[in-house]
Structure 1
Amino acid sequence: MQAENLKYTLLDKIISVNDMSLLQKVNDLLGNVNIDQTIFKLTDAQKEMLMNSEEDILKGDLTTNDELNAEEDLWLNG
């Protein structure tokens, strides 16, 4: 497995964890990683997504968190 794929797999797993003790252990394990000094390499698709997001912001094409939660509730509860 390539490093990039492994990172995404780990992220998916971490996002699904609700056990605070386990999350704290992962945080402690990764505690020495300085993300402020990390250089992120974006794919062309990620760059395009960010540019599209910036265009949406400039056009005012936004959805508030409350609106999104209401849509989600409607979708989940019918």
Structure 2
Amino acid sequence: MRTRPAPLRGAVVADRDRPGRALRVPARPEAGLVVLSAGDGARRTSTVRVAPGDVPLLVAALSGAAVADVLPAVC
């Protein structure tokens, strides 16, 4: 399966269960946002643009989900 190249700045996190699927986090400081893109091979399946001020909430949610059975909803 063909995959998209890694961003010049940022990261790609591979899906644990499905080869070819990944979450891409390209650095976009010039745009004033953080982009999260889910993809399956060369096809992007969804994109979320996060305000820099919301990144700590996102990191906390990911960290909490990694260690807890139930993560309380926060908005």
TM-score, shorter chain, exceeding 0.5: no
TM band (smaller chain): under 0.3
* Higher relative strand content: 2
- Choose between structure 1 and 2 for higher RCO, CA contacts under 8 A separated by at least 6 residues: 2
Larger Rg: 1
Q: TM-score scaled by structure 2? A: 0.27
* Higher relative helix content: 1
